[in-house]
Amino acid sequence: MRNSARKATHNRHDKTRLKTLERRYVETLQAGKKEDAAQAYRLVSSALDKAAKTGVIHRSKADRKKSRLAVRLSALK
């Protein structure tokens, strides 16, 4: 039970961080800042890969989110 509680806390922290990074990325896109959005995309992409590697989210979900975020970035340019 202690392991489960510790892992659940860690996973919740990581998922919250992912949502925050994604929200900041979307806000940057909406502001129309291309360079900042590209940098924010790299941060989100890296965080999604790390979360998938550690099992916080599924690998396919990370790939799908990265793809959809990249499409939004390319539409801005």
CATH of the domain at 35: 1.20.58.110
Give the pLDDT confidence score for residue 31 in this predicted structure: 93
> Residue 39 sits in which domain range?
2-76
The number of domains in the chain is 1
Q: Give the pLDDT of the chain (77 residues) as one tens digit per residue.
A: 999 999 999 999 999 999 999 999 999 999 999 999 999 999 999 999 999 999 999 999 999 999 999 999 999 86
Give the pLDDT confidence score for residue 76 in this predicted structure: 85
How many whole angstroms separate alpha carbon 43 and alpha carbon 2? 31
User: CB-based burial of residue 72 (10 Å sphere; 0-12 exposed, 13-18 middle, 19+ buried)?
Assistant: middle
Q: What angle do CA 53, 21, 16 make, to 5 degrees?
A: 70
> Cβ(52)–Cβ(59) under 8 Å?
yes
Q: What angle do CA 45, 47, 49 make, to 5 degrees?
A: 70
